[in-house]
Amino acid sequence: MYGRDGKISPDACVKGQWGTQVKIHRMLLKSRFRTRKKGEADLFFVPSYVKCVRMMGGLSDKEINQTYVKVLSQMPYFRLSGGRNHIFVFPSGAGASLFRSWAAYLNRSIILTPEGDRTDKRDTSAFNTWKDIIMPGNVDDGRAQGKIGRLQLVELAKQYPDKLESPELKFSGLEKLGRREYFEHLRNAKFCLAPRGESSWTLRFYESFFVECVPVIISDYVELPFQNVIDYTQISIKWPWNRIGPELLEYLESVPDRDIERMIAHGRQVRCLWVYAPESEPCSAFNGILWELQRKVRQFHQSAETFWLHNGSIVNRNLVEFTHWKLPLPLP
């Protein structure tokens, strides 16, 4: 998706919180696991810069929906598996809901997203812990959001300025806080509070590992990446949202310095998993995603609209062999 005029470039979309949709695509294009032979592929990646295009006004929600449906109808292997071996990136808190008809078409597909359960804001969550993958957010850039939990922390800092720093941030004019000044504030802290923003995930969590403070997650519904290899109790603290107040400050003051140093040291060992470095790097977010994807590979995929015969041929309901299916295809 490059917008209705085709003028939104990948370079324009690689920065900011949605940059992962471009970075993962570019890395897969260079990956040693890439194949141009569809019949040999275990998984199919479907590139789409949907969040960027929407934010930059390139397509309306209706046009985004129409584009997805049109593209999917041109993909015979999507029809073959019902989308089970197809990968989609939705790089923001909105998740797959950027594609309004995701529940009809992508409910079996693998979704890469920094966001987990959204039932705190929506009736239905697009994230399924058994098929989808939580990926690290893009640490290149961030933005502040004045949500209730964050505003409570600002007020708490005003009450206890000697214990909690929460500067009045200015995002324009002479008092604008630059990136360097922002990270200097974080670097001086033992703990970095990471409350939710528009949705459950937050970049503050990932940033804390690079300034070496212990992240304190204040987001009840958050889902974290690579839980099969990371024990988050060793590198972070998660505090209930409804207990923001002096009790939180008293608890943090009680944590011994040796435990803080231990958690920071463990964080140094895993923070490479937050960085979207090339595949050649032994530890990176990209390689972490590849590990997770490898666990999704199946020998065989089926759907309600595919059938097979004694000679191993795959056919549709009209007994037409897969190689002769005509486009556009009815979607599963």
Q: What is the CATH number of the domain that holds 176?
A: 3.40.50.2000
- Give yes or no for residue 141 having a pLDDT over 80: no
> For the chain, what is the domain count?
2
Question: Distance from first CA to last CA of the chain, Å, rounded?
Answer: 22
Task: Give the span between the Cα atoms of 330 and 318, in whole angstroms.
Answer: 13
> Confidence class of residue 122 from pLDDT cuts 50, 70 and 90?
low
Residue 209 has pLDDT above 60, yes or no: yes
Considering only CA atoms, give the Rg of the chain. Answer: 22
Give me the chain's average pLDDT, please.
85
User: What tokens does 189 get?
Assistant: 């802290």
Mean pLDDT, residues 97-109? 92
Which amino acid is present at 154?
Answer: V
Percent residues over pLDDT 90 in the chain: 53
| DSSP for residue 321 | B
Q: What percent of the chain has pLDDT over 70?
A: 82
Instruction: Kindly report which listed range (107-116, 194-203, 207-216, 237-246) carries the lowest average pLDDT score.
Output: 194-203
Judge whether residue 147 has pLDDT over 90.
no
Per-residue pLDDT, 97:
86
| Any domain includes 256 | yes
pLDDT at 263: 97
Same domain, 62 and 125: yes
- Residue 275 phi/psi, 5° resolution? -100, 130
Distance (Å, whole) CA 153 – CA 158: 9
The encoded tokens of residue 63 equal: 């046009």
Domain check: are 84 and 102 in the same one?
A: yes
Inside any domain, residue 316? no
CA distance 135 to 138: 9
Question: Do 296 and 176 fall into the same domain?
Answer: no
pTM here is: 0.85
User: Domain span at residue 131?
Assistant: 10-138+288-301
Phi, psi of 73 (to 5 degrees): -70, -10
Question: Region 56-63: what's the mean pLDDT?
Answer: 86
* pLDDT of 33 over the 80 cut: yes
pLDDT confidence of residue 181: 63
C-alpha–C-alpha distance, residues 42 and 47, integer Å: 16
| Whether 162 and 210 share a structural domain | yes
- What pLDDT digit, counting tens, does each position of 310-331 carry? 999 999 999 999 999 999 988 7
Q: Is residue 17 assigned to a domain?
A: yes
User: Would you give the distance in Å from CA 63 to the centre of its chain?
Assistant: 23
Would you state the pLDDT for residue 301?
Answer: 84
pLDDT tens track for 250-267: 999 999 999 999 999 999
CA distance 3 to 18: 16
**pLDDT exceeds cutoff 80 at 236:** yes
What pLDDT does 84 receive?
95
Within-domain flag for 309: no
- Residue 201 has a pLDDT of 78
